[in-house]
A and B are shown apart, each in its own frame.
Chain A
């Protein structure tokens, strides 16, 4: 436990000792904020138009739900930004240790591979949690000026957390297989994009295969969370995905030791 905490702290401090953490958190908030503003502005405009139409035609007001029409797209946008930003956070975790030779320090210290993998994963996960927590300020603004339902907001954040940790676990894995950070980042983005797009492919193949494919889609499982539905099958999917990334990282580190790479 002591080693795990030491490695996690060192990684976390290292993020904040370099511009990585500030740039990634800053740009994530900037883009999320920009799209939040655009989506909310659009929603407000729709509300005003609906209000005018209601008065003009003397008809019942249409049902415009801020959760469905504004918050849900905000979460979808955030999940896309995380796809591009989190690989920048995870790309250096092991590849930099390999490049600089510090992996020799970890591998010859009484630290297990599990401790170093989980320590690094936790550091990147904590950075992502800080990103998510900072983005909650937009929801607070909505709460001050509107009256959104809290349930879908919290379920959306739970979905974002699980989705983000899936990105982190495979980002970690790709950083174990190369000493080049760029290769690690590009491989992670490509891999995650594949598991995003796999759901779209399902509409072009026969329904049975399509159903199987959509079950592997990272974004299909996220959709329910954004709607405010917490289904255990989605939670189990993400936990399995995270576990698989960590397991492959473990195998990769072990095999690198045997191969002497």
Chain B
């Protein structure tokens, strides 16, 4: 649905986006992650035809963003970082205007506006003047304008900024519910949002793509090692020596509690084989007690920091 091939955008000598390529399949939600000034907004602006790329090509729904920009514009809904709202207009009038310029038929305009307001839960403020709305409601009106013409592709630049926690959950649910019918790219700084909402993530730093995968794979591949903490009951020295014989375990460390017969053991393994069932089996078969088994997963936050704080020369 979206195909980006080697796009770059220069402002003078500064490359805001430097040879970026990625694809988004129909119905997929792609998270666009990166620190400030990484080039996320510039990439989104190129995809929405707002900005031309200096080099490279990009297509949306099979149409080139530069050569066939009008066809692309008909098929995208875009929520910029600052919602593009005419402050003096009423919510309903504003959405009707957007529906008109987005090409919604006059007969279907009312239904399209009502649907967009229903999806974003702003029907009760439809007659309010936009400038009198709270930041959260303004953000939702911005989201409604992106949805009003039921576009194939939604490009959302930080869609949950300014929303309260309840609204954030609602908007995430809304975005998830839109996947399938719509292809979605969303950029965010909020890392849990990516894990919760997106099927795939593109991490971008200093204008370059530094990683592209599912959130699970990114964390798995970059974690390097698995760390497991178990709470056990039994002779700790014996347990440690028995566990160390399991293949794939690199290091093992015991932390004894107040009771000499109970403590926690921290196990590290670089093996790709899942060690948790083996550890549990060994303890249970020897008649010891297993109180707790906790896997220390590397978070997406760690991956993000690891990728975006690398020295320039080491960035792939």
Q: Give per-residue flags for B59-90: 1 if the beta carbon is below 8 A from chain A beta carbons, else 0.
A: 00000000000100110101010111111110
The yes or no answer to B205 lying at the interface (CB within 8 A) is: no
Q: How many positions in chain B have a CB within 8 Å of any CB in the partner chain?
A: 31
Q: Is the CB of A109 within 8 A of B86?
A: no
The reply to whether the CB of A60 lies closer than 8 angstroms to some CB of chain B is no
> B86 touching A111 by the CB < 8 A rule?
no
Q: Contact between B50 and A17 (Cβ–Cβ < 8 Å)?
A: no
Bound state CA distance, A100 and B78, in angstroms?
16
The 0/1 profile, CB within 8 Å of B marked 1, for residues 2-18 of chain A is: 11001100100110011
Which residues from B are CB-within-8-Å of A110?
Answer: 70, 73-74, 101-103
* Contact status B84-A100, CB under 8 Å: yes
Q: Compute how far the CA of A3 lies from the CA of B104 in the bound complex, rounded to whole angstroms.
A: 11
- A107 CA / B89 CA spacing, docked (Å): 19
**A153 to B102, alpha carbons, bound, how many Å?**
44
Min C-beta distance of A7 to chain B, whole Å: 7
Q: Mark A41-58, 1 if CB is under 8 A from B, else 0.
A: 000000000000000000
* Number of interface residues, chain A, beta carbon within 8 A: 25
Known: A14-B89, A17-B89. A108 touches B78 (CB 8 A): yes
Interface string of A75-112 (1 = CB under 8 A from B): 00000000000000000000000001111111111111
Near A by CB (< 8 A), chain B positions 102-156 give 102-103, 145
> Does any Cβ of B come within 8 Å of A260's Cβ?
yes
A257 at the B interface (CB under 8 A): yes
Residue on B nearest A103 in the bound complex, by CB: B84
The verdict on B49 contacting chain A, using a C-beta distance below 8 Å, is yes
A105:B70 contact, CB within 8 angstroms: no
Q: A110-B74, A257-B50 are in contact. Are A14 and B88 (CB under 8 A)?
A: yes
Assess whether A258 is interfacial by the CB under 8 Å rule. yes
Complex: chain B residue closest to A259, CB-CB: B11
A258 to B45, CA, bound (A): 12
CA A106 to CA B48, docked complex, whole Å:
11
Q: Is the CB of B9 within 8 A of A105?
A: no
What 1/0 mask marks residues of chain A from 93 to 134 whose CB sits below 8 Å from any chain B CB? 000000011111111111110000000000000000000000
Give A238-261 as 1s and 0s: 1 = Cβ < 8 Å from B's Cβ atoms. Answer: 000000000000000000011010
Smallest CB gap from A112: residue in B = B70
Q: How far is the CB of A81 from chain B (nearest CB, A)?
A: 26
- In this assembly, does B100 line the interface, its C-beta being within 8 Å of a C-beta of chain A? yes
- Report the minimum CB–CB distance from A151 to chain B (whole Å): 42
Q: Quick check: A257 and B52 within 8 Å, CB to CB?
A: yes
Q: Are B100 and A105 in contact (CB under 8 A)?
A: no
Q: List the B residue with the shortest CB-CB distance to A109.
A: B101
Which residues A12-26 have CB closer than 8 A to chain B? Answer: 13-14, 17-18
Give, as a whole number of angstroms, the nearest-CB distance from B135 to chain A.
Answer: 14
Across-interface contacts of A2 in B (CB, < 8 A): 100
Cα A24 to Cα B26 with chains together (Å) = 52
Complex contacts, B101 vs chain A, CB 8 Å:
3, 6-7, 105-106, 109-111
* Closest chain A CB from B261 CB (angstroms): 66
Also in contact, A105 and B98, with CB within 8 A (given A17-B89, A18-B88): yes
Q: Nearest-CB distance from B141 to chain A (Å)?
A: 12
The verdict on B51 contacting chain A, using a C-beta distance below 8 Å, is yes
Q: Are B97 and A107 in contact (CB under 8 A)?
A: no
Residues of A within 8 A of B78 (CB): 104-105, 108
Q: Is B85 a contact partner of A100 (Cβ separation < 8 A)?
A: yes
Assess whether A100 is in contact with B87, with CB atoms less than 8 Å apart.
Answer: yes
Nearest-Cβ distance from residue B287 to partner chain A, whole angstroms = 67
Residues 3-35 (chain B) with a chain A CB within 8 angstroms = 9, 11
> What are the residues of chain A within 8 A of B74 when measuring CB–CB?
110
A6 touches B88 (CB 8 A): no
Which of A101, A102, A257 contacts B51 (CB under 8 A)?
A257
9 cross-chain CB contacts under 8 A: A7-B101, A14-B86, A17-B88, A100-B84, A101-B83, A102-B85, A108-B48, A110-B74, A260-B51
Given contacts A104-B50, A104-B78, 11 further A-B contacts (CB under 8 A): A10-B86, A100-B85, A101-B84, A105-B98, A105-B101, A105-B145, A106-B101, A107-B49, A109-B98, A260-B42, A260-B51
- A residues touching B (Cβ–Cβ < 8 Å)? 2-3, 6-7, 10, 13-14, 17-18, 100-112, 257-258, 260
Q: Which 5 pairs across A and B sit closest by C-beta, in order of nearness?
A: A105-B84, A6-B100, A101-B82, A102-B84, A108-B48
